[in-house]
Structures are given as C-alpha cells and as structure tokens.
C-alpha cells in the first residue's frame, strides 16, 4: 500500500513538473507581451504582467495591420478546416467501406505522399497557381492542401471499426449511401472528426512556407508570414513580437479546448484499428 502511494505521488510530481516546463514558454511569451521590448531579455527575467499589452498591440497593428492579418488567417483556416474535413472524411469512407479496383494501391500512394518533403511540392504548386491565375488569392491559400493525406488516413482507420453488417441492414431498409454516411458513419466517428479537425486547424494556422510563396502583398498575408516580417535589419521590437505570438496562440488553445473531450478517444481509435 505504501509503495503504491509513493508511486502515485512520484507520478503526480513528475507530471506537474512536466506541465510547468511545457507551459512556461507560453506564460513567458504572454508576460513579455505586456512589457516593453527592453524587458524581454532582462536579467533576472520579468515574470509578472506589465501594462504595455494594449500599446504593443497598437504598435503591432501600425506595423503589420493586425486586424487584416487576423481576418485572413481566421477566414483561411475556418474555410480550409471545414472543406478539408469534408473531403478527407468522404475519402476515408470510400477507402474503408467501398471495394473497387486499385483501392489498396491508391491508398498506398496516399501514404507514400506523406513521406514527400513539402518543400519539393512548392515549385509545382506555384506554377500551377500561376497558370490558373490564382496567386495572391484566398483559393491559392486554401485549396492546394485540401486532400490532406494524414487526415484521410485517420478517418479511414476509424471508419474501419464501423460494422459492415449495420450498413448492409441499412441498405436492405432502403437507406441511400448518402444516408448511411450521414446517419451511421458520421455519428460513429465523432471523436475522430474532432481529432482530425484539430490537426487540420493547427496545420493551416501554423502554415508558413506556402502562404509566404502564394501571397505577394501584405493585404493577403496570414499571421505567421506577417509576424516573420517583424524580423528585419532594423531594430526588433520584441514587445510587438510577443504580442503577436500571444494573439497567434489564442485561437489554437480555444479550438483545442472546445474539442478536447473527443481528441484523445479519436486518436486512440485510429491506433486500435487494423
């Protein structure tokens, strides 16, 4: 009994230390955003909030137009997440529940595409967008990565757990394939949908290389690209940088907290399917 108690206490102490170490960078960035630039790297470090947050945000807005940038990022990530989740869910359904020639080979191609470095795709994507006249537009920021291979894989693995017998019973009762998808498949994989939505949201929100290539004017910059423009040859205002980092972290945390109840079960579901 004493050994079990000691093990539990030791485990909680280790988890607490790990949580503090993991969360401290976010806390420090939030604190730094409330202080002037000169105090960011002061020794000893400032660990208490200051009164400069609104001033830093105002200066940040004067520098990069934070309102327009936040709108671009939120618009792109919301449309992308909804569209990509729809496409990847239907693709996962097709791979999991339909039998057609070349299904396994096509799915293997999807898995292999995950191993291709994204940098190798930038030039072909750029030439494609230029040929279509889509450069410096929302469709160029949203559409190229809609069929996200990992999301398709995640949805397919979860949908394999849905018994085929239930679907056959639905077909006998006259339910259409679209009805089966909406009434049986989607309610059964809600945790996987939440987990996939989080991955897609984070992927697009943190995307830097492609928006940097596809957007040629500041009016189309997303938040990561706009924040990178703060690092130039002149003096860097780290108060502005930390204010931007804090604003960039907020939507991810909020979105994760909204879907966290389904996230772990969705990931475990994908790991347990054969």
* pLDDT tens-digit series, residues 44-72: 877 888 888 889 899 899 989 999 999 99
pLDDT: which is higher, 216 or 268: 216
Predicted pLDDT at 271: 46
Q: Domain 53-272 - what CATH class?
A: mainly alpha
- How many CA atoms are closer than 13 Å to the CA of 142, on its beta-carbon side? 19
Q: Evaluate whether 197 touches 205 at the Cβ level (below 8 Å).
A: no
135 pLDDT higher than 70: yes
**Residue whose pair of structure tokens reads 């972290």 in the numeric block:** 249
- 190-209 burial, b at 16+ Cβ within 10 Å, e below that, comes to ebbbbbbbbbbbbbbbebee
Q: Domain-by-domain residue ranges, the chain? A: 53-272
Predicted pLDDT at 267: 53
CA distances from 121 to 115, 143, 247 (A): 12, 14, 30
pLDDT tens digits, 104-132: 898 888 888 888 888 888 999 999 999 99
pLDDT: which is higher, 239 or 81: 81
174 pLDDT higher than 80: yes
* pTM confidence score: 0.85
Confidence of residue 274 (pLDDT cuts 50, 70, 90): very low
């Amino acid at each position: 009994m004493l050994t079990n108690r000691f093990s539990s206490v030791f485990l909680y102490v280790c988890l607490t230390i790990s949580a503090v170490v993991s969360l401290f960078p976010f806390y420090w960035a939030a604190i730094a955003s409330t202080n002037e630039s000169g105090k960011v790297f002061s020794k000893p470090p400032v660990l208490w909030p200051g009164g400069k947050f609104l001033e830093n945000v105002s200066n940040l807005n004067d520098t990069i137009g934070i309102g327009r940038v936040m709108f671009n990022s939120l618009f792109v990530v919301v449309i992308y997440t909804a569209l990509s989740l729809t496409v990847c869910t239907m693709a996962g359904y097709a791979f999991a529940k339909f039998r057609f020639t070349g299904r396994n080979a096509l799915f293997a191609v999807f898995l292999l595409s995950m191993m291709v470095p994204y940098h190798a795709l930038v030039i072909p994507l750029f030439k494609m967008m230029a040929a279509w006249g889509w450069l410096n537009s929302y469709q160029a920021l949203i559409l190229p990565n809609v069929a996200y291979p990992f999301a398709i894989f995640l949805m397919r693995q979860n949908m394999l757990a849905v018994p085929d017998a239930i679907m056959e019973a639905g077909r006998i009762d006259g339910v259409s394939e679209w009805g089966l998808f909406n009434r049986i498949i989607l309610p059964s994989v809600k945790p996987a949908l939440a987990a996939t939505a989080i991955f897609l949201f984070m992927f697009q929100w943190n995307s830097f290389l492609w928006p940097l290539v596809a957007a040629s004017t500041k009016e189309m910059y997303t938040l990561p690209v706009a924040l990178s423009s703060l690092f130039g040859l002149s003096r860097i205002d780290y108060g502005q940088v930390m204010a931007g980092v804090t604003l960039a972290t907020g939507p991810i945390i909020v979105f994760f907290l909204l879907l966290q109840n389904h996230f772990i079960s969705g990931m475990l579901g994908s790991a347990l399917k054969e």
